[in-house]
């Protein structure tokens, strides 16, 4: 999986918090604090100050020291695409927006903002702020339609036909024009492994530049475990969903286009790289095909081709326990 994808879930609690204005019960003052917290976070990003940006986040949303270099590299790349981080408007969202905080902290207030790129405004971004240690912190972000589209995808999730093939046997051949860069078993008993996982395999490719693709297959003891895990994946992706797309080549497939730099909380849906993801539940096996697209205008043909290749390997219908 592309390293920027893992950054979005690498959020753990650390001990230090920065100073901020004290919390107040006055709604107007609280709104001002929320706008200030988002503005300060964006200013730290604009300066390229990863440590300063982390200090503006709630503790549960701070990237650990060992991942800050990767965060900084992602920030540098996106800043280049955006020609800098230039907020054009920052205000409390007047229409309720669904942006879940990373941590269950008091007084969440959602702030909307746009960025200015080459003389035009991007799509709106949303960030939620909370109160922690007496100060206002940024504590989550979402695309405009992410949770709605993610909810629709979850509702559409179903079990396709079953397969007797192992995760390794479901790995497709190398796509034309791409070079295999990884091909290995995943430890099914490792820390953080999902409930009921018995085997898993990942195969990855690159075009030698920024484009990367992978297929991951997870085999579970029971179909219910597989379906539950697929639902968790979609729910985890929801805040970063840009759009859904149809996958005509594969029955019962869920296709999602996601932000390519979700960990930064500052990528607009219409700028920067994207992740194309197709998820299918084959009985008790979950298969996820991913493509990291540097160009947000790129088609979904490559990820659809990978998913179709897996689908052809699934084999005849069988009954699994």
pLDDT tens, residue by residue, 231-261 = 999 999 999 999 999 999 999 999 999 999 9
Query: Taking 60 as the threshold, does the pLDDT of residue 312 lie above it?
Result: yes
Taking alpha carbons only, the member of 62, 67, 70 closest to residue 15 is 62
φ/ψ of residue 270, rounded to 5: -105, 15
> Confidence class of residue 320 from pLDDT cuts 50, 70 and 90?
very low
Averaged over 202-225, what is the pLDDT? 97
Distance (Å, rounded) from C-alpha 89 to C-alpha 121?
A: 9
Q: What pLDDT is stored for residue 28 in this prediction?
A: 87
> Confidence class of residue 98 from pLDDT cuts 50, 70 and 90?
confident
Prediction pTM value:
0.85
Q: What pLDDT is stored for residue 319 in this prediction?
A: 43
Give the pLDDT confidence of 165-199 residue by residue, as tens digits.
999 999 999 999 999 999 999 999 888 899 999 99
Q: CA 241 → CA 5, 117, 151, 158, 183, distances in Å?
A: 13, 21, 10, 19, 27
Distance (Å, rounded) from C-alpha 61 to C-alpha 127?
A: 12
Residue 155 near residue 242 (C-beta atoms within 8 A): no
10-27 core/surface letters (b: 16 or more CB in 10 A; e: else): ebeeeeebeebeebeeee
Q: What pLDDT is stored for residue 155 in this prediction?
A: 96
Residue 138 near residue 265 (C-beta atoms within 8 A): yes
Q: What pLDDT is stored for residue 95 in this prediction?
A: 65
Q: What pLDDT is stored for residue 14 in this prediction?
A: 30
Range with lowest mean pLDDT among 78-87, 116-125, 311-320 = 311-320
């Amino acid at each position: 999986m592309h390293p920027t994808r893992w950054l979005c879930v690498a959020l753990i609690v650390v001990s230090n918090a920065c100073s901020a204005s004290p919390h107040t019960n006055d709604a107007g003052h609280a709104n001002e604090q929320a706008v200030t917290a988002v503005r300060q976070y964006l200013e730290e990003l604009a300066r390229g100050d990863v440590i300063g940006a982390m200090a503006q986040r709630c503790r549960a949303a701070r990237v650990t020291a060992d991942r800050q270099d990767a965060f900084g590299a992602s920030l540098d790349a996106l800043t280049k695409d955006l020609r800098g981080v230039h907020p054009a408007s920052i205000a409390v969202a007047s229409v309720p927006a669904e942006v879940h905080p990373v941590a269950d902290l008091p007084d969440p207030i959602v702030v909307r903002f746009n960025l200015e790129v080459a003389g035009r405004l991007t799509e709106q971004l949303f960030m939620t702020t909370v109160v922690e240690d007496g100060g206002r912190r940024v504590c989550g972000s979402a695309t405009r339609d992410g949770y709605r589209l993610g909810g629709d995808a979850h509702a559409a999730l179903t079990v396709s036909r079953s397969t007797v093939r192992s995760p390794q046997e479901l790995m497709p051949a190398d796509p034309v024009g791409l070079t295999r860069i990884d091909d290995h078993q995943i430890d099914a008993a490792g820390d953080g492994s999902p409930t009921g996982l018995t085997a898993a395999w990942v195969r990855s490719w690159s075009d030698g530049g920024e484009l990367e693709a992978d297929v991951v297959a997870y085999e579970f003891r029971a179909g219910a475990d597989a379906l539950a895990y697929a639902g968790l994946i979609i729910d985890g992706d929801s805040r970063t969903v840009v759009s859904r797309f149809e996958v005509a080549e594969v029955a019962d497939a869920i296709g999602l286009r996601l932000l390519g730099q979700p960990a930064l909380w500052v990528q607009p849906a219409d700028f920067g790289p994207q992740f194309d993801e197709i998820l299918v539940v084959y009985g008790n096996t979950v298969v996820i095909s991913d493509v990291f697209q540097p160009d947000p205008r790129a088609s979904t043909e490559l990820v659809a081709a990978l998913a179709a290749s897996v689908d052809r390997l699934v084999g005849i219908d069988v009954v699994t326990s």
